[in-house]
């Protein structure tokens, strides 16, 4: 039990969450956009599908946990799923972001099947991966180090997705004119329909001094740090949607008739054949003398398919690395009898787990409310939506840096008190954000970074506490069901993510938000509240809940010693 655990094993374990977040963050940032603007689902249809699939996703968590607890192999209980699930994870992931050339009904069935399979495969890999952290060591402090590494890699995965996805989509989808073709003829852009699908059309006026942006400049463009005009390029971008009328009739979606104006092209019917747009309409009021016109068609269907295929291959490889570099050191007694009823009874009478289950739901309310409102806040309150991505990137970086303090927090305060202090600090600064003037971007950024820096360690701390709850259950009952404990906590977080997202939409409806319109004072105040005091309420509830968590550092040492003694003597309860 005193086997030295190397940094390499902790790093290898963390790579598993890097792999997971290469997809999870795709779901957070780009899934809705892909299904509505690229794949071609109407918003009402998408809302129903996401609700159905997320309920399915939440329900299958404990089923996979129960299955993993009953798995016995030469590689252990949980590691085999990383090996067996890696390749299916990659294949299904790529298929989920592939747009087939099916009828409208066929595409909808395809979306249900692939998205449903994706969340199932994700669960089959991720629940055993999470459970693995509970058995890499009997020492709670060692498991905290694994949790710390896990979330360092998780936030790194988020940064990679934020920075690389859209540039990769543009790269892989560039110059594919299978849906539309476009060229400049004199003073006109001629767009011709080639097939069904969706593509993004970019028309740019390039000055003689223009040079192609490098990697750093492209990142700066994406996050609003570099203006395209500073590079000598004036650009207009528009996405053309080409779908059949039958699909929109099935979905009950209103269809906007195509018009001659470049900016007012909406959902197009079965075809527009050829559309001619004067350059003067595209670059209204812009002096483009001596500028060269460049037209680029980006097929986002192909772009997403190949970009996500690359992420899929990387994720599959990383899961296999995690399998190869980790080891299961904590095993239930070989004499422990399998009893699903007993396992479930042990779970619902496990007070630490009950507290963590509630925390998993409540803290996601804070995340969904605040993060979901940021883009609205910059678009309507601040009046500069280009700053939104930079604002969110700064928060993600603050989260990442803060994870390095997890070990220090546990050493100085313990997991429970450390979590409580982080939640209290998040509550104070989130509420204080309401009083930051919308004109003071610098102060706004500072407070936002502080919120994310203080909130960041809570994820690693709470996941480490989940493994302590598994130890507590074994100590109290003599039975260990790590997979069930961890899967039920994951289920709580998915419930929080689902209900938190729905709560955000409900708040927007309540304050009278209207998309792409001038907002009322009530709506503006409500949006500002969502990124401040409204999002602080779940933090206050979380602070109270963690005070009810019964496991202290001293008690965990007692539990660890007792369990080690039992395992050495072969004792167990049935």
Q: Is 125 exposed, middle or buried (0-12, 13-18, 19+ CB in 10 A)?
A: buried
Is-contact 496 439, C-beta < 8 A? Answer: no
pLDDT tops 80 at residue 459: yes
User: For 150-167, how does the pLDDT look when each residue is reduced to its tens digit (9 = 90+)?
Assistant: 989 998 998 898 888 888
Domains and CATH numbers, the chain: 1-171+301-327 (1.20.1250.20), 180-298 (no CATH), 339-574 (1.20.1250.20)
Name the residue among 502, 488, 413, 500 with its Cα closest to residue 458: 413
- What value does the mean pLDDT of the chain take? 84
User: For 195-239, how does the pLDDT look when each residue is reduced to its tens digit (9 = 90+)?
Assistant: 777 777 888 888 888 888 877 777 777 666 777 777 888 887 665
Q: How far apart are CA 88 and CA 16, in angstroms?
A: 15
Overall average pLDDT of the 543-570 stretch? 87
Q: Per the structure block, which two tokens stand in for 37?
A: 């603007």
Name the residue among 189, 219, 498, 222 with its Cα closest to residue 367: 498
pLDDT tops 80 at residue 258: no
Q: Where are the alpha helices (DSSP H) in 205-328?
A: 215-222, 245-251, 279-282, 300-325
Q: What 8-state DSSP symbol labels residue 174?
A: B
pLDDT tops 90 at residue 267: no
User: For 66-116, how does the pLDDT look when each residue is reduced to its tens digit (9 = 90+)?
Assistant: 898 888 888 999 999 999 999 999 999 999 999 988 877 888 899 999 999
Residue 326's pLDDT band, with cuts at 50, 70 and 90, is very high
Q: How many residues does the chain have?
A: 574
What local confidence, expressed as pLDDT, does residue 117 receive?
Answer: 96
Residue 189's pLDDT band, with cuts at 50, 70 and 90, is confident
Strand ordering across the sheet containing 188-193 = 180-185, 188-193, 274-278
Overall average pLDDT of the 430-444 stretch? 95
What local confidence, expressed as pLDDT, does residue 261 receive?
Answer: 42
Strand ordering across the sheet containing 267-268 = 267-268, 233-242, 197-206, 292-298
Overall average pLDDT of the 524-533 stretch? 95
Q: Per the structure block, which two tokens stand in for 150?
A: 């896990």
Residues paired with 276 in a beta bridge? 190
Is-contact 360 496, C-beta < 8 A? Answer: yes
Higher pLDDT, residue 132 or 496:
132
Overall average pLDDT of the 457-485 stretch? 86
Q: What dihedral angle (degrees, nearest 10) is formed by the CA atoms of 166, 167, 173, 177?
A: 100
Q: How far apart are CA 271 and CA 116, in angstroms?
A: 32
Q: What 8-state DSSP symbol labels residue 381?
A: I
Name the residue among 264, 259, 255 with its Cα closest to residue 275: 259
User: Can you say whether residue 339 is alpha, beta or left, with left for phi > 0 and alpha for psi between -120 and 50 degrees?
Assistant: beta
The residue behind tokens 């398919």 is 305
pLDDT tops 60 at residue 477: yes
Is-contact 203 291, C-beta < 8 A? Answer: no
Higher pLDDT, residue 498 or 21:
21
For the chain, what percent of residues have pLDDT higher than 90? 36
What local confidence, expressed as pLDDT, does residue 336 receive?
Answer: 60
Q: Is the dihedral of CA 151, 363, 129, 327 positive or negative?
A: positive
What are the residues whose beta carbons fall under 8 Å from the beta carbon of 466, sequence distance 6 or more? 130, 134, 353, 356, 485, 486, 489
Is-contact 42 174, C-beta < 8 A? Answer: no
Q: What 8-state DSSP symbol labels residue 474?
A: H
């Amino acid at each position: 039990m005193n086997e030295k655990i190397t940094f390499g094993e902790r790093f290898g374990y963390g790579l598993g969450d890097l792999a997971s977040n290469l997809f999870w963050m795709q779901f957070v940032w780009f899934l809705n956009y892909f299904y509505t603007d690229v794949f071609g689902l109407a918003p009402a249809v998408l809302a129903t599908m996401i609700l159905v699939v997320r309920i399915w996703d939440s329900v299958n968590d404990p089923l996979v946990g129960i299955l993993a607890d009953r798995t016995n192999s030469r590689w252990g209980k949980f590691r085999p799923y990383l090996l067996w699930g890696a390749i299916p994870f990659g294949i299904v992931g790529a298929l989920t972001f592939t747009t087939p050339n099916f009828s409208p009904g066929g595409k909808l069935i395809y979306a249900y099947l692939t998205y449903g399979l994706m969340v199932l495969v994700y669960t089959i890999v991720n629940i055993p991966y999470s459970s693995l952290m509970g058995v890499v060591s009997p020492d709670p402090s060692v498991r905290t180090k694994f949790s710390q590494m896990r979330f360092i890699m998780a936030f790194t995965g988020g940064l990679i997705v934020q920075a690389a996805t859209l540039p990769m989509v543009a790269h892989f989808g560039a110059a594919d004119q299978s849906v539309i073709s476009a060229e400049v003829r004199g003073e006109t852009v001629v767009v011709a329909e080639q097939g069904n699908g969706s593509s993004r059309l970019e028309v740019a006026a390039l000055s003689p001094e223009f040079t192609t942006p490098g990697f750093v400049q492209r990142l700066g463009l994406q996050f609003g740090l570099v203006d395209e005009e500073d590079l000598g390029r004036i650009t207009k971008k528009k996405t053309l949607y080409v779908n059949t009328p039958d699909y929109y009739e099935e979905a009950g979606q209103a269809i906007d008739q195509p018009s001659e104006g470049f900016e007012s092209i909406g959902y197009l019917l079965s075809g527009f054949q050829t559309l001619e747009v004067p350059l003067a309409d595209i670059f209204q009021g812009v002096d483009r003398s001596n500028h060269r016109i460049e037209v680029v068609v980006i097929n986002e269907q192909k772009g997403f398919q190949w970009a996500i295929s690359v992420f899929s291959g990387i994720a599959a490889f990383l899961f296999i690395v995690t399998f190869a570099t980790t080891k299961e050191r904590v095993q239930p007694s070989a004499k422990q009898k399998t009893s699903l009823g007993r396992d479930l009874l042990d779970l619902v009478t496990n007070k630490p787990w009950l507290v963590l289950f509630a925390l998993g739901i409540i803290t996601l309310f804070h995340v969904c409310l605040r993060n979901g409102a940021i883009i609205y806040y910059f678009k309507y309150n601040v009046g500069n939506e280009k700053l939104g991505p930079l604002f969110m990137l700064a928060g993600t970086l603050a989260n990442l840096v803060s994870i390095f303090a997890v070990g220090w927090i546990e050493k100085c305060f313990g997991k429970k008190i450390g979590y409580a202090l982080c939640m209290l600090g998040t509550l104070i600064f989130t509420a204080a954000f309401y009083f930051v003037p919308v004109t003071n971007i610098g102060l706004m950024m500072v407070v936002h970074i502080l919120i994310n820096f203080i909130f960041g360690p809570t994820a690693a701390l709470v996941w480490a506490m989940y493994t302590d709850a598994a130890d507590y259950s074994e100590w109290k009952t003599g039975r260990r069901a790590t997979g069930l404990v961890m899967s039920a906590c994951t289920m709580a977080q998915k419930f929080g993510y689902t209900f938190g997202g729905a709560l955000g939409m409900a708040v927007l409806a309540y304050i009278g938000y209207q998309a792409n319109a001038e907002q009322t004072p009530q709506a503006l105040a409500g949006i500002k509240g969502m990124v401040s005091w409204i999002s602080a309420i779940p933090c206050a509830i979380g602070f109270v809940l963690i005070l009810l968590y019964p496991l202290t550092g001293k008690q965990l040492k007692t539990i660890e010693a007792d369990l080690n003694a039992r395992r050495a003597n072969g004792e167990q309860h049935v």
